[in-house]
Structures are given as structure tokens and as C-alpha cells.
Amino acid sequence: MSTNEFYSLKVNGVDHHVSDAWIGESLLYVLRERLGLPGSKGACEQGECGSCTVFIDGAAVCSCLVMAASAVESEIATVEGLNADGTLTDVQEAFVTEGAVQCGFCTPGLVMAVHHLLDENDSPSELEVKEALSGNICRCTGYGRIFAAVDKVVAVRKGALS
Amino acid sequence: MPVLIAHTISEATEILAENPDATILNGGTDLMVEVNFNHRHPSSVLLLRNVPQLREWSIDSSQQTITIGAGVPYAAMETGAIAAAVPALAQAARTVGSPQIRAAGTMGGNLGTCSPAGDTLPVLSALEATIHLSSQDGERIVPFGEFMVGPKKNSRLQHEIITAVTLPITGRRQGYSKVGVRNAMVISVASACFAVVDDTPRLAMGSVGPTILRAVKAEKFLTEATTNLNIISDEIAREFGQIASTEARPIDDHRSTAQYRAHAIKVLASRLAVRGTAS
């Protein structure tokens, strides 16, 4: 049995200490407000929009629905940790070049969802892409540019484009 | 105000015995919405997510049953061996929320919350699943029909945890459908599971009553109206749906109206009755 009034979270491979936190704080809140990692965005706070998507032990989940203090034994990965040196990943590059970023609020969550999809499936069908991104809401793009960015990453990774 | 983390089922029941007021947390997809919106203020939490036993599942080939741990996420039910054994459960799991929700949410949570809109619950009702509960007193196995007793009410005792669900592997056709305002990320307005078990038809209806309802009159009608459950005419399917609709007890609420729900159930039941048939 362990207790967690003061606890530590492993985020992007680094241990972060959290103190005097309320038990009900979501991982999203703790990442943004206590650990200085504002890449994950908060909008709906109920798992509908996907803008707070992070990886917990390799699974893509909504950080707003993770009780932060319950994640002490897990490996947490956020958008800040995709490329440790701060450069853009191929997915982020494709979002820029294909115009998949407009207001940008949904982008971190979508980037995480696309990385998760392509890590598991290197040549997804159109339906598989749509299903994989069905938990991420974008109000600006109408999704066409986002699907184009996914297609571009798939093509580049296969060596069809450079 | 700690999160109490269990690593085994016996550790979990021990923690719960010592902390009877602890809020039980697994995937968090229900609980954290309530916490985020200040509807619940847990003072202590028992986390079950780190209990590996709850994330296991197994098939008993002599009994033709599958037992699925309460902590298995929906994502694991969508494809593979669980989907092959219980196709209706896979169909229901696939309608839950979004990929992110399905990676976190569990059937144990669906049963713990026991909402009439719980997506897997009509499957458990139609297949007459049994629910495994554990406490310091031992294990208790409860049929689903006795488990869900009202909207968001179940017969789990305060010191018990839900550990697993056992379902029959029927080898016969079964299906699940739901109606909502959109395709992804939607809470059902009406849902239904149809299954052939022991050569009899079963229909369970969700979101149209205080609990999951079995359409016993419709089931009886279909049994008497057909000699082969794999050959069902459109006319019989329509009447099956019509009867099922009269057995629903829907209400008006923020998600839909009673009238629309009764209509939706009629259509869902008719379609499920013929889905996968030869005709």
C-alpha cells in the first residue's frame, strides 16, 4: 500500500515532485499548473476533445481523465518529450508543411494521436486514420489538412517522399 | 487524502476493508469527469489499475465461457480473441467514447457506474453474464440481472470490488447496436444487444429504462414465430421490434425523448434480429 499526499511523477523520463496537491487534481492540471509543461491543452475536461492526449505506459489517453496521484507508478510521455532536443518530429513538420495547424489548440493532442497511430500501424487506411483521430476535435481545419499531414508522414517514412 | 494503490486483489480488498469510504478508481473515465466538474470530492481513492490480475482474461474451453478481468480496457476487446469469442461485446466496446477513452475505460468501471447507458451492459444482460465480486469474506458471483438494480445502482456491497465478468461463448450469431447523435464519442440514446443462446433469442435494451431491460415478450414471440433463428423474415423482424418497443420504459431527458427512444429501439431490435441471417 502506498500513499500519495506528496508524490512524484515520471514525465518524459524525468522524475518530478509534486507537493501539497489535492487528491482530485487531474494529470492535465498537474502537468500544466504544477510541472510547467503546458503543451497538453485543456478544453473540455471530460475526455471529449482529445487536446490533452498523453501516453501513459504507452497508451494514448486523455490526461484530464487521469487522476495525477494515481499515475505515480507509470511512465508518462507528453508532447514536450517527443523529441528530447526540442526539434520538431516528422509528424509536427508535416502538420506545418501541409497546413494542418490553424489556431493550433488541438495540435498537440492530434500530434500525439498521430504518433500513437503510426507507431502501431505504419500504413493505415483512410478509415483507420479517421477512427484513430476520432477522439480529437479540431474546430478550424475540417480535418482535410490533418489527413493530408498523416498521408505525408506515411509516405516520407516509406521513402516515397523526402 | 491519499490514493491507495493496490497491486493484488487481496491487497485491494484489505485496503477497502480498512477504508470503506474510499472511492474505487480504475480507468477514471467516469470518475474524473465528476471530479473535474466538482460533482464529487473524494477524500480517499483506491486505485485498481495497477492490479495485473484484473487485466487478465481467459477462456474455459470445457465450459465454453470467457472470463474477462474487470480492468481489461475496452481497446483490448475490440479485436483479437475476446472479439472472436464474444463479437457483440467487441461491437459494444468499439462504440465507447474515443480511442483515448477505450484505452483507459474498463468493463469493471461500466459495471461500477451501472448507468442505463453503459455500452457493455446490454451485452452482459443478453448473454446472462455473471459478475465476480471479491471481499475479505471471499468471492461472490452474481448474475447480471441481479447485479444492476436501478439507474447507477448495483448490488455490489461497499466492501466488495468487481473483479471479473464471465460470459458464455455461444458460437451463434449476436450483435450490438446503438443510436446516438453522432458516430464517435457519444453516449447512447438507445442501445440493444441481440443474441442466440441455447437456441433461444435474447434481446437486451439499454438507455430505455431504469436498468437494462430484457424484452421477454419479444423473445417469446420470435421463439414461437420461427423454426430456424437463422432465417427470419423482414415481417417477423418488424413485429419483433414492435413488441420490444412496447417493453421499453423510456423517459424524456437531456439526451432524447421517450417517443424517439421507443422508435429507435424498434428499429435497432428489427435490424439486429436479421443481421447475419441468410435471408
Total length of chain B:
279
* DSSP states along B80-123: HHHHHH-HHHHHHHHTSS-HHHHHH-BHHHHHHH--TT-TTHHH
Chain B partners within 8 Å of A65 (Cβ): 27-29, 32-33, 101, 104
Contact B36/A45, CB-based, under 8 Å? yes
| Nearest CB neighbour to B99, from listed A23, A26, A60 | A60
CATH of the domain at A107: 1.10.150.120
> Which residues 30-49 in chain B show a CB within 8 A of chain A?
31-33, 35-37, 40-45, 47, 49
Q: Residue A5: what pLDDT?
A: 66
pLDDT at A162: 59
Instruction: Name residue B173's beta-bridge partners.
Output: none
Q: Hey, is the C-beta of B101 within 8 angstroms of any chain A C-beta? A: yes
Question: Which chain A positions have a beta carbon within 8 Å of B32's beta carbon?
Answer: 26, 47, 64-67
Minimum-distance CB partner of B47 among A47, A53, A70? A70
Q: Which of A36, A52, A79 is the last residue of a domain?
A: A79
- pLDDT at position A3 is 47
- Of B211, B188, B217, B215, nearest to B91 (Cα)? B188
Residue A84 counted as domain residue: no
Last residue of a domain, one of A30, A46, A79: A79
Which of A50, A79, A108 terminates a domain? The answer is A79
In a domain, A146, yes or no: yes
Chain B residues close to A108, C-beta within 8 Å: none
Cell triple for B10: 487481496
A58 and A38 in a common domain: yes
Instruction: Tell me: do A149 and A104 sit in the same domain.
Output: yes
The helix-helix angle for A107-120 and A90-97 (nearest 10°) equals 120
Domain presence at residue A68: yes
What CATH number does residue A18 fall under? 3.10.20.30
Measure A48 CA to nearest chain B CA, in Å: 7
pLDDT at A2: 45
In a domain, A1, yes or no: no
pLDDT in tens, A31-89: 999 999 999 999 999 999 999 999 999 999 999 999 999 999 999 999 999 998 989 99
- By Cβ distance, the residue of A48, A69, A136 closest to B3 is A69
B:56-95 residues touching chain A, CB 8 A cutoff: 73, 75
Question: Contact, B45 vs B15, CB < 8 A?
Answer: no
Shared-domain flag, residues A75 and A102? no
Residue A103 lies in a domain: yes
- For A26, the domain range is 7-79
Assess whether A119 and A145 both reside in one domain: yes
Given a cut of 50, whether residue A1 has pLDDT beyond it is: no
d(CA B266, CA B52): 41
Residues A49 and A111 in one domain: no
**Which chain B residue shows the shortest CA-CA distance from A73?**
B50
CA distance A67 to chain B (A): 7
The band of B31, judged by pLDDT with boundaries at 50, 70 and 90, is very high
Are residues A19 and A71 part of one domain? Answer: yes
Tell me the shortest Cα–Cα distance from A162 to chain B, in angstroms: 30
Domains of chain B: 3-168 (3.30.465.10), 174-274 (3.30.390.50)
Is A2 a member of any domain?
Answer: no
Select the residue from B15, B18, B100 to test the A interface by mutation, using most A Cβ atoms within 10 A: B100
Mean pLDDT of B218-245: 96
Q: Per the structure, how many domains does chain A have? A: 2
Mean pLDDT of B253-266: 96
Alpha-carbon separation of residue A43 from A63, A118, A162, B117 (angstroms): 11, 25, 35, 24
Say what percent of chain B tops pLDDT 90.
95
Give the distance from residue A60's alpha carbon to the nearest chain B alpha carbon, in angstroms. Answer: 6
- Domain contains A85: no
Same domain, A74 and A15: yes
| pTM of the shown model | 0.95
Q: Which residues pair with B141 in a beta bridge?
A: B132
Q: Any CB–CB contact under 8 A between B99 and chain A? A: yes
